[in-house]
Amino acid sequence: MLPNSPATTYEPNGTAMDMTIATLKRHKVAVLAAVTSPYSNGPIEGVNRLIKSLKRSCFGFKNQLNFFKRIYQITA
C-alpha cells in the first residue's frame, strides 16, 4: 500500500474495519493492479446485461438463430 495510507498506519481496535484492512493487506498486489490497470470489464458486463434483459423481455423466439440475430442487432 502507499506509505501513509490507512492500511499501513491502522491499529486494530476490535471493529469491523479490522477485517477490511486485513483483506486489503492480504490482496494488496491485486488491488494495486486493478487500480493502475487501464483495462476494465465494464463493457463486457454491459453486453451481458443487455443480453440478459433481452432474454427476459422476449418470451421466446421461433428458433435460436433468431435469438442470436437479435443479440447481434442490439450489440452491434
Query: pLDDT tens for residues 10-49?
Result: 778 888 888 888 888 899 899 888 889 888 889 999 999 9
For 48-61, write each residue's pLDDT tens digit.
999 999 888 887 77
Q: What is the pTM of this model?
A: 0.54
- Tell me which residue of 58, 56, 57, 53 sits closest to 75, measured CA to CA: 53
Give the residue, 7 or 66, on which the prediction is more confident. 66
